[in-house]
Amino acid sequence: MKNVIEVKNLTKKYKELKAIDDLSFEVYEGEILGLLGPNGSGKSTTINCLLSLLNFNKGTIKIFGKTMKPSSYDIKEKIGVVFQDIAVFEELNVIDNINYFCGLYIKDKDTRKKYVLDAINLVGLENYKKFYPKQLSGGLLRRLNIACGIAHKPKLIFLDEPTVAVDPQSRNNILEGIKKLRDEGSTIVYTTHYMEEVEIICDRVIIIDKGSIIASGTTDEVKHLASIEEKVTVEVVDLENKYLEEIKNLKHVDEVKYDNNILFITYKKGKNNLIDLIDYLKINKINYTKIFSERPTLNDVFLELTGKELRD
């Protein structure tokens, strides 16, 4: 697979504090790479270093095989960035905003016109072309922010938490748009602390904490780092302690918690744990209202590796 980004031994210090500590990774052509980590883990600092917006103390950054510098305009023309903060002109309407940012890359008027309309369609702002940012809801504003960043059809797109504070409908629209961009050939670096989004759209994940990579691989590969295999949740009223003790002794059970009439069971191994549990409940005539099973999430992996949750 062809490398689009190559980062080697990247280190960024703020005085004595290491925001990024010897970070090395690659981004392959045509993939969506999820850069996952809690707030302050170094995701945005990494992106800013990659884009030459920040000086760094050590390491090398190559994008499209060339060393990235502030004056690398030939590389920059292939890059699109959507920052976490909304970056649009209050004085311009939707179409003018997209046209302006696209115009920083595309000189030809006709091509630009087509690209602007494509971007509007991609993010679903067809009915808001003449709206000013103040007239848009938070979700629509985020969509405009994305359209401004990707209108020039870049080969490499950085999306820095583009779905923060977005309603579910806009979130789905944005995620669908991102997948479409990947399908059209773009390589995407997607930073977020929403693990659900990463699981939906990312081909590969890098989990960062305190400026260092603590796990990387496909979502399945990363999930395998978790010592648990399955999590089962059962809604059951007034479960007696003797049953709790018996469940603890069932095959493959690692941990049992009972709180507010909800029973949480984690399994370390096994494939048919849920069936075995249902059989046990039936035999003992324990009535339950709801039962469901989950595979370990990236949050579980993160919790296990760092002792804290991703959204901390």
Partner 1 sequence: MIVFNTFLKVVKSSLTPIIMFTLILIIFGITNFSTNDNSLNFEVTKPDILIINNDKNEGLTKNLIEYLTKNSNIIKVKDDKYKVDDALFYRDVNYVIIIPKNFKEDFLNNKNPEIQIKSTKDYQSSLAEMMLERYIKVASIYKSQLTSEDKIIENINETLSTKVDVLLTSKLDANNLNKMTFFYNFANYSILAGCVYVICLILSSFKNENIKKRTIISSMNYKEYNRKLLLSNSLFVILLWLFYCILSLLLIGKSMFTYHGLIYILNLFIFSICSLSIAFLIGNLINNKNAINGIVNIIALGSSFLCGAFVPLEFLPTGVINIAHVLPSYYYIKTNEIIKSIEVIDIHSLKPVLANVSILILFTIGFSVITNIISKNKQKIG
List residues binding partner 1 (CB under 8 A): 14, 48, 51-55, 70-71, 73-74, 76-77, 79, 81, 83, 85-92, 96, 99-101, 103-105, 148-149
d(CA 220, CA 223): 5
CA dist., res. 170 & res. 48, Å (int): 26
User: What's the min distance (Å) between Cβ of 56 and partner 1?
Assistant: 10
Residue closer to partner 1 (CB basis): 103 or 270: 103
Cα dihedral sign for 86, 87, 91, 93?
negative
Select 19 or 207, whichever has its Cβ closest to partner 1. 19
**Smallest distance, partner 1 to C-beta of residue 107, A:** 8
Note the maximum CA span of the chain.
76
Rounded Cα distance, 35 and 161, in Å:
10
Cβ closer to partner 1: 106 or 225? 106
Nearer of residues 86 and 250 to partner 1, judged by Cβ? 86
DSSP 124: T
Between 53 and 262, name the residue whose CB sits nearer to partner 1: 53
Report residue 158 CA to chain centroid gap.
11
Minimum distance from CB of 74 to partner 1 (Å)?
8
CB neighbour list of residue 283: distance below 8 Å, 6 or more residues apart: none
Convert 46-76 to b/e letters by CB count within 10 Å (16 or more is b): bbbbbbbebebeebebbbbeeebeeeeeebb
Element (H, E) at 283: helix 273-283
Shortest gap between Cβ of 60 and partner 1 (angstroms)?
Answer: 18
Cβ 85 to partner 1, closest distance in Å?
5
Locate tokens 């990247």: which residue? 10
- Report CA dihedral (142, 143, 149, 153) to the nearest 10 degrees: 160
- Taking the complex as a whole, the smallest distance from the CB of residue 128 to partner 1 amounts, in Å, to 18
Nearer to partner 1, 156 or 225 (CB): 156
Identity of the residue, 23 or 256, whose beta carbon is nearer to partner 1 in the bound complex = 23
Q: Which residues pair with 261 in a beta bridge?
A: none
User: Least distance in Å: CB of 92 to partner 1?
Assistant: 6
